[in-house]
Amino acid sequence: MHIVLGLIIAFIVVAIFARRNRNTRGCRWREDRAGNRGSLRKYKCAACGAEAFTSQKGPPQTCKSHLPKS
């Protein structure tokens, strides 16, 4: 029974982490025009303070909060 319990806990933990990595709803990207580098537009997350550059239209698709801060 302990193996079953362990598998259930492991599944829940994996599900939480997978969801957290994909979930960007917590991020509120704000364009930081002063930090633009050429064609790269700088965005800053108002929710977690993460900074990201993107050459695409619109804000980044992923949250960078898990990356180490420079």
Contacts with Zn ion by CB under 5 A lie at 27, 45, 47-48, 50, 63, 65
CB of 56 to Zn ion, least distance (A): 17
CB of 26 to Zn ion, least distance (A): 6
CB of 58 to Zn ion, least distance (A): 15
Q: Is 65 exposed, middle or buried (0-12, 13-18, 19+ CB in 10 A)?
A: middle
Nearest to Zn ion of 8, 20 (CB atom): 20
Nearest to 29 by CA among 48, 54, 46: 46
Nearest to Zn ion of 54, 65 (CB atom): 65
Q: Please name the residue that has the structure tokens 């029974």.
A: 1
Nearest to Zn ion of 9, 46 (CB atom): 46
DSSP symbol at 41: E
